[in-house]
Amino acid sequence: MFLPTTREEMDRLGWDSLDIILVSGDSYVDSSYNGSAVIGKYLSKYGFKVGIIAQPDIDNNEDIKRLGIPNLYWAISAGCVDSMVANYTATRKRRQKDDFTPGGLNNRRPDRATISYTNLIKKNFKQTPKPIVIGGIEASLRRTVHYDFWTNKLRKSILFNSKADILSYGMGEKSMLELAHAIENGDDYTGIRGICYIAKEPKAGYLELPSFDECKADKHKFIEAFEKFYVNNDHITAVGLSQKQDTRYLIQNPPSIIPTTEEMDEIYGLEYERALHPYYKKMGEVKALDTIKHSVTTHRGCYGECNFCAIAVHQGRTITQRSADSIVKEVEDISAMKSFKGYISDLGGPTANMYGIECLKKQKLGACKDMRCMYPKTCKVLNVNHNKQLELLDKVKKVEGVKKVFIASGIRYDLIMDDNKCGSLYLENLVKDHVSGQLKIAPEHTEDEILGLMGKQGKDVLKRFKDEFYKINDRLGKKQFLTYYLIAAHPGCNERHMKDLKNFASHELKVNPEQVQIFTPTPSTYSTLMYYTEIDPFTGKSMKVEKDTARKYKQKDILIDKDAKNGYMGNSYNKDHSKSKDNNKPKNNKFKGTNKFKKKK
């Protein structure tokens, strides 16, 4: 059943009012890939009456009024993507298309959607105010003082700028449910994990970050604030944080405890329609639905911690996974859909091959504060073994009606190469049964100096993986190829690095990249910290950061040059590989030395 979006739907359910009204920057696709749908369905299961207003017209006051006033609270999300990232390119050009909007035109999501929707509610419900809770990735990653690329300055917490009452950060099922119960019962909610709120004084026992004014005045203070914020995102080791913003304080409680496997099964086992709500479907199709309709999420979280990626901050560094039975049950449900033609579009998560691979020490004691799981080398304690994934794939392939299961989420090839137990077998299975002509991987760069700044392993492991991939293809008689996601103008990267990358791509990878993304500074990442401060936070040294738009384009153009100076093009046959079209399109959304990275004060 869909969540109601109109008064008529409420009447059919016999509801005079709603407990919680969700407001989203995305159209309402009832799917586990839509955060608002997940929260709504989860709250509904526990007895709350929930409705949703998707992409309300901020120029039409009647749109936000159509479901009335919630009994408990409003819940606002900008959508699955930060609204400024959704609306603008890395060079600040307005995007014309939006895959989460009916019809595909980018004409319904306002800039800074969280703030816009909060203002819209406050404007229209002054006489009957109810608490406004903001959440989703935009609120989550902007919850403390942060650098905003689109205004090129530091901004206060979005909780202050939006004037909302509460901020739910990270994956919000638990915090939003606890809030609903607390508000319903008139209880104090300020102790709930996974939320932020505003107070007149810092909270006793909480770690105080440098203030907004200190961060504005001194970039080293901003680095200090970010590092304290970053290491306090683990659900086991994190402490609460306070940060002065004006005369008041942002209070951030420790993160919600991550879901157990049983809780993950509950969340993803809710009855999703896997469709666009009819109210919005009449406005046009939503392109994003094409890729998620027959896809299955196996887990959350990522311990790859690429410095340009915020997944570790938003979803966590610890993998939370579903049981194989739950995943198989969902595939069986998909196979019964009329629209299903036998192909599972994707079986994965933020990084597909992290399913079933996690550090036992981390699960008990929390993430290490002085070392990373996969940089500069994969930690031996991680005990990499792809066997659970192989078992899962085997079970899913046996579901009646399933012809093929694709892995489209992206993989960490270094994790495969570190698996001495069954890495080769896993890769052979990918090549044989789970690749649709191409396998996408994300080296992002190939020069060790830049890879170090990105928090990624060196290019040697890429070369070994590439050779192994094509060797398996040759043995199996397959003509499949690798797609490389690459980034230009990352902090520290200059034209020389791009020329070296171009040379490596031509001579070692045998491709001429066609689509390369210019680095986009997004809140709550180390790479964005580097971009703003022009300081390497891990060494304390000054670094060159390209901020001129024309020179950013030049870095990209160096890589996608089509002059065929080396005697072949990326779209033509070469002596090493079969015909390959490298459609590199890096995701929006990650230190040097030993596996311990030391922060210089």
Q: Where is the binding site for [4Fe-4S] cluster, in residues?
A: 302, 306, 309
Residue closest to 298 by CA, chosen among 391, 381, 384, 403: 391
Q: Which helix (H) or strand (E) segment is 300 a member of? A: strand 299-300
Residue closest to 491 by CA, chosen among 541, 460, 529: 529
CB 374 within 8 Å of CB 416: no
Q: Give every CB contact of residue 300 below 8 A, 6+ residues apart in sequence.
A: 171, 258, 259, 264, 315, 316, 319, 320, 321, 349, 350
String of b and e for 347-369 (b: at least 16 CB within 10 Å)?
bbbbbbbbbbbbbeebeeeebbe
Distance (Å, rounded) from C-alpha 580 to C-alpha 582? 6
From the CB of residue 290, how many other CB atoms can be counted at a distance below 10 Å? 12
Backbone phi, then psi, for 295, in 5-degree steps?
-110, 160
CB 561 within 8 Å of CB 503: no
168 bridge partner residues: 195
* N residues, the chain: 601
What's the token pair of residue 323?
A: 């049981």
Annotated binding site: 302, 306, 309
Longest distance between any two alpha carbons in the chain, whole Å: 73
As a dihedral over the C-alpha atoms of residue 360, residue 366, residue 370, residue 371, rounded to 10 degrees, the angle is 40
Angle 503-504-508 from CA coordinates, rounded to 5°: 125
